[in-house]
A and B are shown apart, each in its own frame.
Chain A
């Protein structure tokens, strides 16, 4: 590997977002996100549709058209300021330092090129290697993500593969230039349940073996727990709770996180029991109410919540929550859990 600027600061975190804001026209979809992803870590970004998680992810690659979007704040990858990159540098940075896998691999591959060709294209875009050398690398990648009869599959068109195989090929493509950071945008949403877990396990394995840093966007808490060391919960463009996977799932301190945990199907679907949901819907981003954006749907909301934006509080090392009533929330969660345990099965 040649020494590029991205290798200049080996100790810097893989991804550093500080007060990141992303706006389209008058609507601010991401509204001040602070996140740090250490090297070799996997972080899950969870939240409802429209919470800004996918937009945050795409902002890291600056994938939005320049004229129609505005990104402000700090956005550093491996110590390098992404917002300061020129067009040329940005193209070199994409796929090389940070790469991305998409929700629907059938749509993310060009339908009229073979999958192998699309992988060698990426390799030859970033590295001066011969076509046969690139092909060898692509074959090795297909073996790495365990695609059966890889030699033959390289010459397949995307529509000739199954959904799971396509997503494996998409992962192979993302890893083609040995990136440091892998962004995964709901990589299992379009797949069958049985295939989902295989893909998640593959991601986890690759992350450990290759020392990758991963940001996984999902609305599936199960997937988040499977892959991630840390979980960040987003709501209306804010990170409302972030912590280790254990802290967030076992000891949540934000009412929205608690709502998400309770609205999972697993465990809550005892016969006759109603599935708990979060009432209402996310706020209109063009017309943000003052105060906490979750207040109108929150079971603990007090007068203060509707007036003032809650500050971010660190309630344990690495566990930060943006809520006025963290203690009440945590207590409510514990009470709910013990009540559930008390009910005989």
Chain B
């Protein structure tokens, strides 16, 4: 098992390298001059050139990439053009916030998704199944920034139960696990969990239905197991795939929550990316995309390792 993890880590290296190249190039492909956003409109050509060479934008792209990569490897993601603060600090604070939000949303999504999925898979074509399926389709297809606004209207504006925006009462961007902060995370997390709930429910339904149709379930009944005994086998068989889906969803939520974080002013990576894009803050943009991409790679690795541990049929070494 240890050998397998080591092997997988080695495989990750070329992937990570490729990701860094794409991150770097993608940002440079975007139109617009990053300096025009920070320099005054009447700056002289000399000032522009000076800034350009200070940020290294006057060098050829491959050289820029090499310099950038060298710094990244040393843990230096550069300095934000807009704020002048180190990108690493900005990104890691945002990543922590996003990770908290995404984890809570995935937890909600996984809980309800597996619940709906199991009920629908066990009672196929019943009213319960139809209801659960309809809810999952709704979850996958509803635009979630819209859903977020509706929830804000109901629970914040009308009922006044929950705060509409931000991560905490103090207005700072640091979320802590206490009751006050918990109230702030409920609306964005619920909004965010709707898609993973739908996707997990549909996957688990298909999985459970497929497992229940297999011969070994009849064999389990034939040796005297009751429904609870059979259920444990079904769970164990469904677990590897369900976990993989959950891991991928967590990855998507980490990076794909720009809309929700903007609607709820949640100080996470999506919020940061949004700001970086509009300010043409290249170092910040590159840094956050790279960190998010690396998270995805890491998550995939973790999911793979977990699946291998759970399903003996997957090759170990």
State the A residues within 8 Å of B (CB): 61, 63, 87-88, 91-96, 99-100, 102, 104, 107-114, 121-122, 125-126, 157, 159, 173-174, 176-177
Contact between B310 and A112, CB atoms less than 8 A apart: yes
Interface contact B216-A109, CB-CB below 8 Å: yes
Is A111 in contact with B226, judged by CB distance below 8 angstroms?
A: no
Q: Which of B236, B240, B312 has the most CB of A within 10 A?
A: B312
Given contacts A108-B215, A108-B216, contact A63 B222 (CB under 8 A): yes
Q: Given A93-B224, A94-B224, output 5 extra A-B contacts at Cβ < 8 Å.
A: A61-B221, A111-B237, A121-B225, A125-B223, A177-B224
Report chain B residues within 8 Å CB of A104: 215
Complex CA–CA separation, A108 to B240 (angstroms): 20
Secondary structure of the B side of the interface? helix
Residues from chain A with Cβ under 8 Å of B210 in the complex: none
Please, how many angstroms separate the alpha-carbon atoms of A110 and B236 in the complex? 10
- Interface: B67 (CB within 8 A): no
In the bound assembly, the distance between CA atoms of A335 and B117 in angstroms comes to: 64
Inter-subunit contact B311/A112 (CB<8 Å):
yes
Contacts of A174 in B (CB 8 A): 223
Question: Known interface pairs A112-B236, A113-B233. Does A126 touch B311 (Cβ–Cβ under 8 Å)?
Answer: no
B residues in contact with A61, CB < 8 Å: 221-222
Name the contact of A125 in the complex, choosing from B218, B219, B224, B310 (C-beta under 8 A). B224
A-B CB contact pairs (8 Å), 23 listed: A91-B226, A92-B224, A95-B223, A99-B222, A99-B223, A100-B219, A102-B215, A102-B218, A107-B214, A107-B215, A107-B216, A108-B215, A108-B216, A109-B216, A110-B220, A111-B216, A111-B237, A111-B313, A112-B236, A112-B237, A114-B312, A157-B312, A176-B223
Bound form: Cα–Cα A110–B240 in Å:
14
A87, A88, A112 pick with most chain B CB within 10 angstroms: A112
**Please, which residues of chain B bring their CB within 8 A of the CB of A114?**
312
B-chain residues with CB within 8 Å of residue A110 when the two chains form the complex: 216, 220, 233, 236-237
Residue in chain A with minimal CB distance to B240:
A112
In the complex, B229 has a CB within 8 A of chain A? yes
Q: Are B221 and A94 in contact (CB under 8 A)?
A: yes
Is B310 a contact of A173 with CB atoms below 8 Å? no
Q: Is the CB of A159 within 8 A of B313?
A: yes
Complex alpha-carbon distance, A314 and B245, angstroms: 63
Asked if B225 and A109 make an inter-chain contact with CB atoms under 8 angstroms apart, the answer reads no
**Closest partner residue, chain A, to B217 (CB atom):** A110
Q: How far is the CA of A92 from the CA of B221 in the complex (A)?
A: 10
Interface residues of B in 74-121 (CB under 8 A from A): none
- List of 5 A-B pairs having minimum Cβ-Cβ separation, nearest first: A95-B224, A95-B223, A107-B215, A108-B219, A94-B224
Output the least CB separation between B100 and chain A (Å): 33
Q: Which residues of B contact A177 (CB under 8 A)?
A: 224
Beyond A104-B215, A108-B216, whether A94 also contacts B311 by CB under 8 A is no
- Of B216, B236, B237, B313, most buried by chain A (CB within 10 Å of CB) is B216
Contacts of B236 in A (CB 8 A): 110, 112-113
Name which residue of chain A comes closest to B237, CB basis.
A112
A174 to B224, CA, bound (A): 11
Counting chain B CB atoms within 10 Å of each CB, which of A96, A99, A111 scores highest? A111
Query: Given the complex of chains A and B, what is the CA–CA distance between A113 and B225 in angstroms?
Result: 15
Contact: B312 with A112, CB < 8 Å? yes
Measured between beta carbons, the chain A residues less than 8 angstroms from B229 are 121, 125
A119 (CB) vs chain B CBs: closest residue: B223
Task: Identify the interface centre among A61, A96, A108: most chain B CB within 10 Å of its CB.
Answer: A108
**A63 CB contacts on chain B under 8 angstroms:** 218, 221-222
Give the contacts of B191-240 with A (CB-CB under 8 A).
214-216, 218-226, 229, 233, 236-237, 240
CB distance from A326 to the nearest CB of B (A): 37
From B214, which residue of chain A is reached at the shortest CB distance? Answer: A107
**A88–B227 Cα gap in the complex (Å)?**
10
Q: How far is the CA of A70 from the CA of B6 in the complex (A)?
A: 56
A residues within 8 A CB of B215? 102, 104, 107-108
CA distance A94 to B229 in the complex (A): 13
- Tell me the bound Cα distance from A87 to B230 in angstroms: 14
Asked if B219 and A122 make an inter-chain contact with CB atoms under 8 angstroms apart, the answer reads no
Least CB distance, A47 to chain B, in whole angstroms:
21
Residues on the B chain within 8 Å of A125, using CB: 223-225, 229
Q: How far is the CB of A99 from chain B (nearest CB, A)?
A: 7
Tell me the minimal C-beta distance from A118 to chain B in angstroms: 8
CB distance from B1 to the nearest CB of A (A): 15
